[in-house]
Amino acid sequence: MGRALKAVEPENLHVTLKFFAAVEPNVIPEIQGIAAKAAAQQICSQLALTGLGVFPHAQRPNVIWAGVEGAGAESLIAIAEEIEEPLEKLGFVREDRPFTPHLTLARVKARPPEELHELLARHAKTVFETAPVEELELIRSEPGPEGSRYTVLGSFPLAARAT
């Protein structure tokens, strides 16, 4: 779809549970503790990447995403809810809308081609892939001209595999 879209590099695909703007380095250990506790309360499970959509709306998309469903999505929602209160106590603004897990696939940089609307309609309910949810990572994102650079600041395993 040409220059109108900038795909997320495969190694950078992730589900964002909470976005922090600037974070003081001395607060990172507290965030790590909150993340570790929330992760330990959930079990490893599978999620399904299902359907394509856009934010904020089809007439003016900024982001193209795949939906996230299944037990893994439920775990992600539970973690997102679990971390809100303790992070608010640290001074981070509470989200004002419910968390909806999604995987950002591309960013729209210019007017997208008409084929995008057809693609979205054709794959609105398509199940693309399943993937395990096994850990929560705290990641630093540093924007740059070639795209964001990610650094893992902590990795926190979920409790155990579901049987």
Residue 162 resides in a domain: no
Please return the burial class of 72, using the count of CB atoms within 10 Å of its CB with bins 0-12, 13-18 and 19+: buried
Q: 12 is in which domain, residue-wise? A: 2-157
pLDDT tens by residue, 38-90: 999 999 999 999 999 999 988 889 999 999 999 999 999 999 999 999 999 99
Residue 72 resides in a domain: yes
State the Cα–Cα distance between residues 97 and 70, nearest whole angstrom: 21
Q: Say if residues 152 and 129 touch (Cβ distance below 8 Å).
A: no
pLDDT at 160 exceeding the cut of 80: no
pLDDT tens by residue, 103-153: 999 999 888 888 899 999 999 999 999 999 999 999 999 888 877 889 999
Catalytic residue (choose from 57, 102, 117, 123): 102
CA angle 50, 132, 72 (to 5 degrees): 60
Residue 118 resides in a domain: yes
Residue 60 resides in a domain: yes
SS3 122: helix
Residues 24-29: what's their mean pLDDT? 95
Catalytic residue (choose from 14, 57, 117, 123): 14
Residue 149 resides in a domain: yes
State the Cα–Cα distance between residues 151 and 45, nearest whole angstrom: 25
Q: What is the pLDDT of residue 2?
A: 58
Is 123 a known active-site residue?
no
Residue 124: CATH number of its domain: 3.90.1140.10
- CB atoms near residue 35 (< 10 Å): 25
| Confidence label for 161 from pLDDT (cuts 50, 70 and 90) | low
Q: What is the pLDDT of residue 151?
A: 93
Q: What is the pLDDT of residue 57?
A: 86
Residue 163 resides in a domain: no
State the Cα–Cα distance between residues 41 and 74, nearest whole angstrom: 12
Report residue 161 as tokens. 């595999």
Report residue 142 as tokens. 């540093």
What count of residues does the chain have?
A: 163
Residue 74 resides in a domain: yes
| Confidence label for 33 from pLDDT (cuts 50, 70 and 90) | very high
Q: What total number of domains does the chain contain?
A: 1
Q: Say if residues 38 and 93 touch (Cβ distance below 8 Å).
A: no
Give 67's strand partners: 50, 102
Contacts of 139 (CB under 8 A, 6+ apart): 14, 150, 151, 152, 153
| Confidence label for 163 from pLDDT (cuts 50, 70 and 90) | very low
pLDDT at 1 exceeding the cut of 70: no
Residue 16 resides in a domain: yes
Is 57 a known active-site residue?
no
